[in-house]
Amino acid sequence: MSWSHLLRNLSFMRFVGLAIIMAASAFAAEPAGACSCDLMPDVQTAFDEADAVFTGEVVALHVLVETGGQKNAEHLKYGETLRASVLVSAKFKGDIGSMVLLETGRDSGSCGYGFRVGERYLIYSYFYDREPHRPLTTGICTRTVPLHEGTSDLIQLSKLDR
């Protein structure tokens, strides 16, 4: 085998190796539009930034489907937004009633929170676009958690000046 033949084979192997690395990194890259959260804020910061903080039980879930600029609640498998009806049990912040309609993305890829009917949660929520006439929203980038996981937050919330 000649040196020139060996160099050509080596160059080809480098090319193939580089192509494999590039292809693998393309598949490993985060898809466009996927959820990306900053660091989770501490309880005080999350409380200060939230429009409403409360505990409650999810009593119903509906998927909202975009139709001609309007959102319509329908029982469907796929959709853009999930609406949870939450029966409020304790209020820490916000002018909310005993029942709250809360919107979130339909899945964690859109930062949506995976609520389940019958489960109780500690919820940090925000008015959509910071407009009080819009629905409250939450997601996985907030301190919202199942109630049994929120013990530390509940203790801190009970001590905050409101």
Domain boundaries, the chain: 1-30, 43-159
CB 54 within 8 A of CB 30: no
Q: 16: helix, coil or strand?
A: helix
How far is Cα 43 from Cα 47, in angstroms, rounded to an integer?
6
Least Cα distance to 124 among 40, 17, 36, 28 occurs for 40
pLDDT at position 160 is 85
The string of pLDDT tens digits covering residues 126-147 is: 987 666 667 899 988 899 999 9
Q: Low-confidence residues of the chain, pLDDT below 70?
A: 1-33, 65-79, 107-109, 129-133, 162
Per the structure block, which two tokens stand in for 105? Answer: 């993305």
Does domain 43-159 fall under CATH 2.40.50.120? My reply is yes
CB 112 within 8 A of CB 104: yes
How far is Cα 20 from Cα 102, in angstroms, rounded to an integer?
45
Phi, psi for 95 (deg, rounded to 5): -95, 85
pLDDT at position 78 is 43
Least Cα distance to 119 among 89, 96, 160 occurs for 89
CB 143 within 8 A of CB 43: yes
pTM above 0.85, yes or no: no
pLDDT at position 63 is 82
